[in-house]
Structure formats: structure tokens, C-alpha cells
Structure 1
Amino acid sequence: MEKDTINKLFNDLQGSFDIEEPIEGHETRFLEKLRQKNTVATITKKKNSWWKPLSIAASIALLFFLAIGGLNNSITTEDKVAEISPEVSKSELYFVSLIDDQIKELEKENSPETKKIIEDTLLQLNKLEKNYSQLEQDLLNGGNSKLILSAMITNFQTRIDLLNEVLAQIDRIKKIKNTHDENFTI
């Protein structure tokens, strides 16, 4: 149907198309006018060329100040969680300090015999930390707060239990190594 409309349009306009050749020298006159306009535009651009860098610099400065203002006024996830449940904030501070102490103790025990278990433990702790961050987001998004708070505490307890178990395994590894070294004679 559309094809018929186009054909009808061309049939209606037949005979009214301008098919005559332009006057001799038309192209040279056109190119000359074009060159004159380009020269005028270039001169105009040179006169106003300082505005462009100045406007770019002003835009960058404005964005910079807006970013600084936004960063100063931003509330962290921890602050938002503390608003919802102040108890979580206090318990988080306690658990985090306990976990940090155990991680430092774990890193002190780093040796060729324990390297693999320590790396695996740190990887698992990283996964639990990501899980905890997701729980914080769920809490902020208005999920079941009692259930989420319980899961957050369980997450901390799981990290502490993991660290305690790994430290106990490292102690066993050290005892086995010492026993083998004592029984080894030259």
C-alpha cells in the first residue's frame, strides 16, 4: 500500500521536476561564496576562541565543588544501619575488633606449612564480609529487620568460629612439626 502512495506521488509530480543544467560558472561562484563564509567563520572563531577553554575550566571547577560537597554530606551505610538499629552498631564494633585481632594473630602464624590454610581462610572471610554487606543493604531496603539482624550476628559469629578453628588447626600443625623435628635425628 505504501508503494502505491509513493508511485502516485511521483506520477502527480511528473513534469514539475527541475531538470535544467545550471548556468556556466555556477560551481566556481558557489565555491567562492563558500570560501568567503569559511574565512569569516574562521575570523569569528579566532576572536571568540578564549571563551571555550574558559567555559570548560569553569565547568570542571563547578563539578569539582559539587563532588566535594556531595562527599561531605554523604552518609555511609554503617551510619544508616546505626540509625535503624544502634545495637547493631555497637555489636559490630565489638565483633570487628575481635575479628581484626584474630586476623593479625593468624597472619603472624604464616609459614610454608600454614600458607594454604591461611589463604583459604582469608578468602572465606572475604566472602563472609561481602555477605554481610549484602545483609546491610537488605536491612536498609526495608527487609525483615529481626531476621536480617539475626543473620548479621550469625555472620560475625561464623567469622569468629572460622578464625578460632583455623588457629586451632595451625596449633596442631605446629605441634606435629615440633614432634617430627624432635624425633628426627641426624
Structure 2
Amino acid sequence: MKNKAIALTSTAAVLLLPALALAHADGAAHAHGGFVDGLLHPFTGADHLAAMLAVGVWSALAVRPVWMAPLAFVLLLAVGAVAGFLGVAVPAVEPMIAASLLVLGLLVAQRRRLPVAAAAALTGLFAFFHGAAHGIELGGSGQWAALAGMLLGTAALHAAGIALGQAVVARHRWIALATGLGTALLGVGLLVRMA
């Protein structure tokens, strides 16, 4: 009975986290002034929060070694952010962020295994676009400190996703299906808003 209650509570929390963050999903730019602002940013946007958790959960379910996709994400997030710092015009940033939620959500829902190189390449590709979007926002003199904070916050969300994946989602197929489909639907919703 206690395990079932923990599973239900954890599932509710995972399903509600992206919804709770929708207050930030208004499309407005959010400048970051330093390490703490960057650290907190991944926790305040529905797109970033859902993607980071999905990468972690998917890694726990289907990627071996489990740290490879999160590592690729963090590294390419940094590259994309630097591109944003430099003013590189990266096309289709917002549609790719929405697509990342759709694809990552479906991978979680299906518990889909990919070769490790493909998993790292896919998450790295999506991370570049997330980074490019945030690199534009990380303006001012504190941009490097904000980037360091954002990378740490992202890694923490990946770790939380891995922990949730291993402790709860891997044990209950319906939770993987529900959380994956919830993330995918968030991506679809963002794509529809852009149309």
C-alpha cells in the first residue's frame, strides 16, 4: 500500500511539473544576470523543465550508459548558448524545442531503446536549440556565470529524471506511458501555438 501511494504521488508530481511551469511559457524573453538566475531558469520554464526531466527518465529506462544522453545534452546546451551569445542566427529554434518535447515524450512513453551514439546525437541536437534560445536570453556582464548556473540546474534536473525513472517509472509501465504522453502533448501544444 505504501509503495502504491509513493508511486501515485510521484506520478502526480511528474505530470504536474510542466503544468506548474506554464506561467513562464509566455514567450517573453527573460534576461539572466548571474549564476543564481541561470541556476533557477531551468526550473521556471515548461519547455526546459519537461525536456530535462524527460532526458533523465528516458536515460534511466533505455539508454546505456545512463549518463551518456544527459552528458551530451549538457555539452551541446553550452555550445548552443555560446552561439546565442555570439548572435548566431539559428533557424527554427522554437519549433525544434517543441519537437524535442514531442520526440522525448514519445521515447519515454515507448521506453524506446536506441544505440548510445544515436541517443547522444539526438539529445545533443535538441540541446543545441535549447541552448541557442537561452543564450540569447543570457545577456549582460553575468552571462558566463548565468550559463554555468543553467548547466548545473540542467544537470540537476537530468539527475532528478534519472532518479524518478529508476525509482518509479521503470517499475510501472503505465507511469512511463502517462509521463511520456504528457510531455509529448506539451510539445504538440507548443507547436500548435506557433502555427
TM-score (norm: length of structure 1): 0.31
Higher relative contact order (CA 8 A, sep 6+): 2
Question: Which structure has the greater CA radius of gyration?
Answer: 1
TM-score w.r.t. the length of structure 2 is 0.30
